[in-house]
């Protein structure tokens, strides 16, 4: 992990252990991850130049879309189904919707404050946001996969884990070409940690509330 990365290993582990144990929560979680992967793919696509599109960006967007679809197919393995990404079909509510959007806006604002041009801001924001999110994925997916294996779940995310690690390496290589990239990485990783903490807190609060309601209705 990068020295600038703020780990939430304990919080993520506790959250996922509670989620995987309850099929209805697990279904919401899979749909939530699918939404985030789809959101990431759409953001990558929105950063593309009309004609000067590199193969690496096409590959990355295609894989993120495929991850979103793959996570949707995993719902069948636990007898769950969600037709879309409406708020009631996700964990974390508005915090889930705002996670990537807020990070994207704050990153662009940060870069514009440094005097970067619009085109530079768009490209560098893509690299920095993707880097920060891939760092988080490199923490979250191994924890999720380990928990799935411990619970003998039919759901598997090993293939996503491997591709996210590859994406991270690609972002690291691209960012190394920019002056002051380490300073930018530090700033954006801090912003991502704030968004992630809000998201994890929202998911945990929702799970705790549903657990309390379930106990009261028994």
Average pLDDT, the chain: 90
| More confident: 210 or 86 | 86
pLDDT of 9-42, one tens digit each?
A: 999 999 999 999 999 999 999 999 999 999 999 9
pLDDT of 69-80, one tens digit each?
A: 999 999 999 999
Q: Is the pLDDT of residue 59 over 50?
A: yes
Centre a 10 Å sphere on the Cβ of residue 155 and count the other Cβ atoms it contains. Answer: 20
Q: List the one residue out of 179, 180, 181, 198 whose CA is nearest residue 131.
A: 181
Q: What is the mean pLDDT of residues 91-117?
A: 94
CA–CA separation, 167 and 64 (whole Å) = 10
Q: What is the mean pLDDT of residues 113-132?
A: 91
- Per-residue pLDDT at 179: 87
CA–CA separation, 100 and 33 (whole Å) = 12
- Per-residue pLDDT at 3: 64
CA–CA separation, 203 and 209 (whole Å) = 10
- Tokens 């988080």 correspond to 136
Q: What is the pTM of this model?
A: 0.92
Length of the chain: 218
CA–CA separation, 216 and 214 (whole Å) = 5
């Amino acid at each position: 992990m990068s020295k600038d990365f703020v780990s939430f290993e304990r919080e993520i582990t506790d959250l996922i252990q509670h989620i995987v144990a309850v099929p209805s929560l697990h279904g919401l979680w899979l749909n939530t991850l699918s939404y985030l992967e789809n959101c990431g793919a759409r953001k990558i696509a929105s950063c593309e130049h009309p004609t000067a599109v590199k193969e690496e960006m096409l590959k990355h967007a295609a894989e993120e879309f495929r991850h979103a679809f793959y996570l949707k197919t995993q719902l069948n393995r636990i007898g769950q189904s969600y037709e879309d990404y409406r708020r009631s079909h996700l964990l974390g509510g508005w915090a889930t919707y705002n996670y990537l959007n807020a990070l994207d806006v704050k990153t662009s604002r940060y870069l514009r404050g440094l005097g970067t041009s619009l085109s530079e801001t768009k490209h560098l924001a893509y690299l920095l946001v993707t880097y920060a999110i891939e760092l988080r994925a490199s923490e979250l997916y191994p924890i999720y996969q380990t928990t799935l294996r411990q619970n003998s779940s039919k759901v598997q995310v090993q293939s996503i884990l491997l591709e996210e690690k590859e994406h991270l390496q690609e972002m690291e290589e691209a960012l190394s070409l920019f002056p002051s990239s380490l300073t930018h990485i530090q700033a954006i990783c801090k912003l991502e940690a704030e968004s992630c903490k809000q998201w994890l807190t929202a998911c945990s609060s929702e799970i705790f509330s549903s657990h309390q309601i379930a106990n009261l209705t028994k």
